[in-house]
Structure 1
Amino acid sequence: MYKPPKIWRLSCDRNSGTSMNSPASADSGNPNKTGAELSSAQGHGAGTPHHQSFWLWVLCLTGVDYFSTLAYQPSIAITSAGRLAPVATILLVLVTLFGAVPIYCRVAKSSPHGQGSIAMLQRLLRGWSGKFLVLTLLGFAATDFVITITLSAADAAKHLIENPLFHKVPSFFHSQVGITLVMIMALGALFLKGVREVIGVAVAIVAVYLVMNVIVISGGLYTLTQQPHFVSDWWDKLSSGDVGIAAHAYEAPSESATPSTSNEADSPSESTISPGTATPLVPLTWYAGLFMSALLFPKLALGLSGFETGVAVMPQIKGDPSDTEEAPLGRIKRTQWLLLTSALIMSVMLVGSSIVVTTLIPLEALAHGGPAYERALAYLAHAEGGLKLWPFFGEVFGTMYDMSTVAILCFAGASALSGLLNLIPRYLPKFGMAPDWVSATRPLVCVIIVVCLIVTLIFRASVEEQGAAYATGVMVLILSACVAVTIERYRERIGSTWGRVPWPMVLITVVFLYTAVDIMIEKSEGLVISLFFIAAIMGVSLVSRIVRSDELRVVRFQYANNDSKFRWNTLQHVEIPVLAPHRPGGRTLDEKERELRIWHHLDDEIPVVFVEISLGDTSDFFQEPVLDIRHEGGRYIIRVSHCTSIAPAIAALALSLNGTTKPIELHFGWSDESPLKMNLGFLLFGEGNIPFLVKELLRDAQPDEALRPRVIIG
């Protein structure tokens, strides 16, 4: 029988089939992955097992992304909705609790290994269309997660630079780009240290940050109960129609500034709020206010940023001892707890902060360039504007609040980086669209960090320039989850077509579709950036697929029935001199054998084993061929199905059946197709110049020419 070569080892597993394994010491440079190593890439794992923790600790890992939006979400709400911000925020909370939470709880149940809605949608489409759908969604996911890392670090750098105490640091250290780059590299170094350490740091950061925000928000709410005129003033202005949204930017005036003229007001600038308006005010009815809030709601969509990362980090949640890889029920249940708990915490924080900020901070301070712009809660913590919510508020407490904000923003990329580490190894290596080392954590961390550094340099660490891409990525992923859940629920139901439609899910999908389209129309640059990420991923993936096309990529052989398994074991223990591929549908086996013996000068006493191969999904990279072995007309026929490519399947068969005294011979006939057509056929459809490809695969797999199966063409 066949002796294991230095590079490839074909072992006969009598119970589960023949598996192909690559020894860890292989020094040929061949990146093929098979057998036990490949099982992680093909199954639910990705390289090494994930460190698992209590679900509440993992909540903090996702919370550094989700909760960190409190640093700028109240300001965004005011900028976008003016005095309607509390109403628009309540709508956001309702969509979160009754839309996003049910959707992602279902995603956690249907895709419990961290692939999220991408895995659910992949099951709907086979072939290359399914692969391109996955690559497209991975592009949006990469946009979301990478921009999360870079934008959060840039915002952290901005908060740090604007802190009064940091002004005492030499100006050489005031570069926002430089500080952002250092923060991103520090995040990468922490991940290289290990996920256990990352979760531990996340727990501490989230706990401190939430406590600081509870102090600020509770102080604001207490102040409103003691000084209700703040609420009445807000309501009177809102009822009179003074919503506080204008078409032009308001620059906070200096002490010596005079009111701006009409020409100055007409200068083009960024859309934000104004403390007043030159047009007559029209009283605002409750239904008009509600309608306006619904129209303005998509501008607050960054408050939905934590759900995709919530399901992406599922492999790091410790489940029950009874959990299995196929049905991790404990992990699913705890992930659903995580999603609901984080949503409830964030909902309370968003509504509370929106009420406090809208009623207590003057609109001119929240305008673009104002002291509270993009730091509304920090403005209150520093007691700027002369309003002390608690007696200890001021520069010291404000600096403590700033440091907690900087810490969580700097670390907000941790959940995004963790999500990328879960997603990429589960798809690209499995598709043959990434080098094999991508399944390893540390090299992939280095690659992602380098990409983040490049993105930071391209955008010059600008928070505003990256915001559109961030919102686009978030909403497309949520929309894909809605579509996946809706289709899955429809397929599960029985009855008439309309009766099977899950109307609540359809309504949720429509809401998120409206939100996504509104964001893409208003901030089209975000879609452009996302398309760039998609193009980059597709380009790299296709190049990698071409480069890796000469790998053996057969994981193991499966059997159609017990008889086939018995005959396979029999064939492995006898000397087989000739293996002849036969294309079914053309000549009969009798005609094929007659021509073969004439043209290849084979005597009648030399047995010939014929191989007939049928292709399955040729867009897949790795394969587990199914063997159906028959003994008909005095000859063995091996019918192989579920193949992704013909040449690797034939090469794997030859290596498994290769004799110990004399190498097996593979006899092929000539093809009349052009070389270009054959090469394209191999890359796309698993066919092509089969004899040449088999010969190259055998040469890579068996360096010893004396033991290598021989390829004969005639």
Structure 2
Amino acid sequence: MAWLLHDRPVGHQGPHRPAPHPTHRWWKVMCLTGVDYFSTLGYQPAIAAAAVGLLSPVATLILVLLTLLGALPVYRRVAAESPHGEGSIAMLDRLLGRWKGKFTILVLLGFMATDFIITMTLSAADATAHVVENPYVPEWFHGKEVIITLVLLALLAGVFLRGFGEAIGIAVALVVVYLGLNLVVVGNALWNVITAPELVTNWRGMLTTEHSNIWVMIGISLVVFPKLALGLSGFETGVAVMPQVDGAPDDEPAHPETRIRNTRKLLTTAALIMSGFLITSSFTTIVLIPENEFKDGGAASGRALAYLAHEHLGNVFGTVYDISTILILWFAGASAMAGLLNIVPRYLPRYGMVPDWARATRPLVIVFGLIAFVITLLFKADVDAQGGAYATGVLVLIMSASIAVTLSARRKHERFRTVGFGVISLVLLYTTIANIIERPDGVQIASFFIVAIILTSLISRATRSLELRATEVRFDEEACRLISAAAEHGDLRIIANEPDDRDEAEYQEKEAEQREVRNLPEGPPILFLEVTLTDASQFETELDVRGEERFGYKILRVDSPSVPNAIAALLLKIRDDWHVMPHIYFAWAEGNPFYFLFRYVISGEGDVPPVTREVLRRAEPTRSNRPWVHVG
């Protein structure tokens, strides 16, 4: 939702330079994330009642304990270690590294896409339920749930196609009004329960008749509570909005303590508010609403609190409550769409795994809108039917966050925290597996997204591998001195060299070989260029060129995830800054060119000379302005 704040293209902003955002008080930003988190009250009590019946309050209490003792501590740690809105996925990227980390991230992005897409479709479907069940709505609306949901999704896509402006003011207004109305509904429901104690007595009697003792109740609740995991939604969004939270002017940019502290206030306050509403709403709805009304087609199906609003506070107030719920659910879908539009530029460009068309907002909006249409048709706009898929996406993201903080604590030798976060990870792992076994549709949808993301990412990486991938080239003082001295003699002669430690004889042999093969004159000085390969799974990078002299030879050294791309970027930078035409000299590699091509895409090496020349050709279309590549 943080990305709702600016009506700007999704286009690439640079690998580590997110566009600056205006900041706000933490409670206002809590409202921004709250349109997603708090909107689950629109359907959570009804889903809980439909899933576990009379045990709904017990199972909800377990969910609240997991929220406060599990998810909240995990994301307070994520806020401290990822204070610029990257979230737990970026933490895993840093902790795992290289291709193993990249593929893990791609899989998690598939689950994140599931979470956001189902948020859109489920929220729209529940908004439709509130529309259809309102007593003032014409009768012919009934049976048109799928059509109404598709219309709401189309309106959502249309808003993003036109551009979405300032959102935090809207979010604050929606959340304040919505929570205020829920406070009235729940408060009135609690009063009705207090003034009619026989209702609680009847519920307790039916509960003890159905389940022999409290341990059986807890055991059953532990088994079925993964169905209620929708209430865990919002934590990942909570850390994603961190760039919007006010900090202090004297905060260190790398670790802004004030912003971290305010974000932790945001997460804690949101969790406490939601926990209070979850416990009270699950209890009052199960006590006050007849069981048959929770069933599919019942008046409370997908809208338990709205049912209480109409039954106990009148249709006028109930209609106001419906309108508020419809708006916040629709806005939750907007936050999900914004989150989807943020996934591509936030993660994938650094891996080179974005097709060119995915840089633009409108094509992505159309694609995600069509996917939401398909899922709505498949699930027939049924809120309960989509609960499993939504819970799967939410649980996998929270589980990945708990694993990330466990690994981080272990790496920092924090034994107590490692054990604590490890226990939370095991609980969330159980919850996730139980949810997948019980309702496999979520992992099926996620698998579709995972396969689609991996295939398109690998194809994009292969097709973009010949791009000029250095975002900036910097030379230290010694490198500038060496280049300037060599440039005084006209065209610059550079010999590409392996970066291994070499003795004087090897440099002599390399220079003699190139002078003999290329008939180089003895007068002009020659520079050696050595590229040390770093993490080849990275795509874009900044190059820092270091100069040094060894055995009387002048050497430029640079670290890069790709050897050919680094050489090409360095040659173009020398051409532009020193106004000389650089010549680079290689020796041919022995081996199968197809093997070398595959090796280049995966490891960043391969047959360097032809790839360097092709990168230069694509970066500089004018042949006369292109640095020379010599191979012998």
TM-score (norm 2): 0.91
CA distance in 2, matches of 1:118, 1:144: 14
Task: Measure how far apart 1:163 and its partner are.
Answer: 2.3
Match of 1:625 among 543, 562, 571: 543
Paired AA for residue 653 in structure 1: L
Task: Measure how far apart 1:373 and its partner are.
Answer: 2.2
Determine the structure 2 residue equivalent to 1:534. 450
CA distance in 1, matches of 2:216, 2:612: 72
Task: Measure how far apart 1:634 and its partner are.
Answer: 4.4
Task: Measure how far apart 1:178 and its partner are.
Answer: 3.4
Determine the structure 2 residue equivalent to 1:159. 130
Q: Say yes or no: does 1:365 pair with 2:293.
A: yes
Q: Say yes or no: does 1:678 pair with 2:596.
A: yes
Paired AA for residue 452 in structure 1: A
Contact preservation (8 Å) 1:304, 1:474: yes
Match of 2:121 among 146, 150, 160: 150
CA distance in 2, matches of 1:372, 1:459: 19
Match of 1:242 among 191, 210, 218: 210
Match of 1:183 among 152, 155, 159: 152
Determine the structure 2 residue equivalent to 1:221. 190
**Range with bigger deviation, 585-594 or 98-107:** 585-594
CA distance in 1, matches of 2:217, 2:378: 40
Task: Measure how far apart 1:188 and its partner are.
Answer: 4.0
Paired AA for residue 700 in structure 1: R
- Residue correspondences, number: 618
CA distance in 2, matches of 1:557, 1:575: 22
Q: Percent identity?
A: 45
Determine the structure 2 residue equivalent to 1:478. 398
Contact preservation (8 Å) 1:65, 1:414: no
**Range with bigger deviation, 567-576 or 286-295:** 567-576
Q: Report SS of the residue matched to 1:165.
A: coil
Contact preservation (8 Å) 1:156, 1:409: yes
CA distance in 1, matches of 2:31, 2:260: 17
Change (3 A) 1:576 1:458: farther
Match of 1:654 among 565, 571, 578: 571
CA distance in 1, matches of 2:497, 2:438: 59
Change (3 A) 1:106 1:633: closer
**Range with bigger deviation, 646-655 or 99-108:** 646-655
Q: Say yes or no: does 1:581 pair with 2:496.
A: yes
C-alpha distance after superposition, 1:123-153 (max 9, x if no partner) = 1112111111111111111111121112111
CA distance in 1, matches of 2:66, 2:394: 15
**Range with bigger deviation, 599-608 or 564-573:** 564-573
CA distance in 2, matches of 1:322, 1:438: 38
Change (3 A) 1:487 1:290: same
Q: Report SS of the residue matched to 1:320.
A: coil
Change (3 A) 1:332 1:523: same
Contact preservation (8 Å) 1:429, 1:438: no
**Range with bigger deviation, 223-232 or 574-583:** 574-583
Paired AA for residue 545 in structure 1: R
Change (3 A) 1:164 1:203: same
Task: Measure how far apart 1:237 and its partner are.
Answer: 2.0
CA distance in 2, matches of 1:575, 1:482: 59
Task: Measure how far apart 1:629 and its partner are.
Answer: 2.4
Determine the structure 1 residue equivalent to 2:245. 317
Which of the two has greater helix per residue?
Answer: 2
CA distance in 2, matches of 1:286, 1:209: 35
Match of 2:229 among 296, 301, 304: 301
Q: Report SS of the residue matched to 2:540.
A: coil
Change (3 A) 1:697 1:573: farther
Q: Name structure 1 gaps, 5 residues minimum.
A: 1-36, 244-283, 384-388
Paired AA for residue 194 in structure 2: T
Show the 5 A alignment for 1:501-540. 502-540=418-456
Show the 5 A alignment for 1:234-313. 234-239=203-208, 241-242=209-210, 284-313=212-241
Task: Measure how far apart 1:55 and its partner are.
Answer: 2.1
Determine the structure 2 residue equivalent to 1:17. none
Contact preservation (8 Å) 1:630, 1:637: yes
Match of 2:469 among 547, 553, 557: 553
Show the 5 A alignment for 1:353-502. 353-383=281-311, 389=312, 393-435=313-355, 445=365, 448-493=368-413, 499=415, 502=418
Task: Measure how far apart 1:482 and its partner are.
Answer: 0.9
Show the 5 A alignment for 1:594-613. 594-613=512-531
Change (3 A) 1:359 1:368: same
Contact preservation (8 Å) 2:306, 2:322: yes
CA distance in 2, matches of 1:210, 1:624: 47
Contact preservation (8 Å) 1:114, 1:423: no
Show the 5 A alignment for 1:65-76. 65-76=36-47
Q: Report SS of the residue matched to 1:625.
A: strand
Q: Report SS of the residue matched to 1:639.
A: strand
Contact preservation (8 Å) 1:429, 1:435: no
Q: Report SS of the residue matched to 1:374.
A: coil
Match of 1:232 among 177, 180, 201: 201
TM-score (norm 1): 0.81
C-alpha distance after superposition, 1:404-423 (max 9, x if no partner) = 22112111123323433444
Larger radius of gyration: 1
Determine the structure 1 residue equivalent to 2:16. 43
CA distance in 2, matches of 1:443, 1:51: 27
Task: Measure how far apart 1:562 and its partner are.
Answer: 5.1
Show the 5 A alignment for 1:90-109. 90-109=61-80
Task: Measure how far apart 1:649 and its partner are.
Answer: 1.5
Tell me how large the CA RMSD over aligned residues is.
Answer: 2.7
Contact preservation (8 Å) 2:95, 2:408: no
C-alpha distance after superposition, 1:198-254 (max 9, x if no partner) = 222222222222222212111111112211111111112222x225xxxxxxxxxxx
Q: Report SS of the residue matched to 2:622.
A: coil
Paired AA for residue 41 in structure 1: G
C-alpha distance after superposition, 1:655-698 (max 9, x if no partner) = 23339786332222223222211211221111223222222222
CA distance in 2, matches of 1:584, 1:114: 37
Paired AA for residue 376 in structure 2: T
Contact preservation (8 Å) 1:429, 1:436: no
CA distance in 1, matches of 2:190, 2:613: 77
Q: Name structure 2 gaps, 5 residues minimum.
A: 1-10
Q: Report SS of the residue matched to 1:672.
A: coil
C-alpha distance after superposition, 1:435-472 (max 9, x if no partner) = 46756666655554454345435544343443221110
Determine the structure 2 residue equivalent to 1:122. 93
Determine the structure 2 residue equivalent to 1:250. none
Task: Measure how far apart 1:575 and its partner are.
Answer: 2.9
Paired AA for residue 299 in structure 2: P
Determine the structure 2 residue equivalent to 1:25. none
Contact preservation (8 Å) 2:34, 2:234: yes
Q: Report SS of the residue matched to 1:631.
A: strand
Task: Measure how far apart 1:568 and its partner are.
Answer: 4.5
CA distance in 2, matches of 1:77, 1:707: 68
Q: Report SS of the residue matched to 2:614.
A: helix
Q: Report SS of the residue matched to 1:682.
A: helix
Contact preservation (8 Å) 2:227, 2:387: no
Task: Measure how far apart 1:574 and its partner are.
Answer: 5.4
Contact preservation (8 Å) 1:140, 1:476: yes
Match of 2:59 among 50, 66, 88: 88
